[in-house]
Amino acid sequence: MTSSLPDTVGITAETTAESAPDVSALKRTESPLGRLRHRPEAGALIGTISVFVFFAIFGGEKFLAAAGAASWLNIAAELGIIAIPVGLLMIAGELDVSVGSVLAGSSMTLAIVSGHWGAPMIVGIVLALGLGLLIGLLNGIIVTRTNVPSLVVTLATMAGVAGLTLGLSRVATGTTSVAISPDPFSKAVFGQLIGGQFEVAIFWWIGIAVLVSVVLQMMPYGNWIFAIGGDKESARATGIPVTKVKIALYMASGFGAALVGVIQTILYNGAQVANGQSFVFNSIIAVVIGGVLLTGGYGSVIGIALGTLTFAIVNQGIYYTGWNSDWASLILGVLILTAVLMNNTFRRLALSYKPRSAKKV
Partner 1 sequence: MTTTPLLRLADVSKSFLGTNALQDISLEVEAGKVLCLLGDNGAGKSTLIKILSGFHKPTSGTIEINGERVEFDSPRDASAQGIATVHQFGGTFPLMGVGRCFFVGAEPTKGFGPFKLFDKKLAGEIAVREMQSLGITRVTDGNRLVGALSGGERQALAIARAVYFGANVLILDEPTAALGVKEAAHVLRIIMQARAKGVAVILVTHNVRHAMMVGDHFAVLIRGQKADDFRKGERTREEITDLMAGGEAMADLEAELAQLQADA
Tell me the window of 120-128, 189-197, 219-227, 307-315 that interacts with partner 1 (CB under 8 A): 219-227
- Helix 201-218 with 242-268: angle, nearest 10 deg: 170
Establish if 340 lies at the interface with partner 1 (CB under 8 A).
no
Candidate list 49, 218, 274, 294; residue touching partner 1; CB under 8 A: 218
Per DSSP, the residues of 209-269 read HHHHHHHHHHSHHHHHHHHHHH-HHHHHHTT--HHHHHHHHHHHHHHHHHHHHHHHHHHHT
Distance CA 272, CA 72 (A): 23
Please, which residues have CB within 8 angstroms of residue 58's CB and are 6 or more apart in sequence? 317, 320, 321, 323
- Least spacing, CB of residue 336 vs partner 1, in Å: 21
Establish if 147 lies at the interface with partner 1 (CB under 8 A).
no
Candidate list 171, 196, 326, 360; residue touching partner 1; CB under 8 A: 360
Backbone angles phi, psi at 177, to 5 degrees: -145, 125
- Least spacing, CB of residue 123 vs partner 1, in Å: 29
Nearer to partner 1 among residue 326 and residue 360 (C-beta)? 360
Tell me the window of 169-177, 218-226, 257-265, 280-288 that interacts with partner 1 (CB under 8 A): 218-226
Candidate list 11, 32, 61, 171; residue touching partner 1; CB under 8 A: 11
Establish if 156 lies at the interface with partner 1 (CB under 8 A).
no
Backbone angles phi, psi at 238, to 5 degrees: -80, -5
Establish if 356 lies at the interface with partner 1 (CB under 8 A).
no
Establish if 145 lies at the interface with partner 1 (CB under 8 A).
no
Q: In 3-state terms, what secondary structure has residue 149?
A: coil
Tell me the window of 13-21, 67-75, 108-116, 274-282 that interacts with partner 1 (CB under 8 A): 13-21
How many chain residues bind partner 1 (CB under 8 A)? Answer: 49
Establish if 90 lies at the interface with partner 1 (CB under 8 A).
no
Backbone angles phi, psi at 278, to 5 degrees: -65, -20
Q: Is there a contact between 283 and 89 (Cβ–Cβ < 8 Å)?
A: no
Strands 193-194 and 198-199: antiparallel
Angle of CA points 172, 174, 179, to nearest 5°:
85
Establish if 146 lies at the interface with partner 1 (CB under 8 A).
no
Binding site for partner 1 (CB under 8 A): 1-5, 7-8, 11-12, 15-16, 19-20, 23-24, 27, 38, 218-220, 222-224, 226-227, 230-231, 233-240, 293, 297-298, 347, 350-355, 358-361
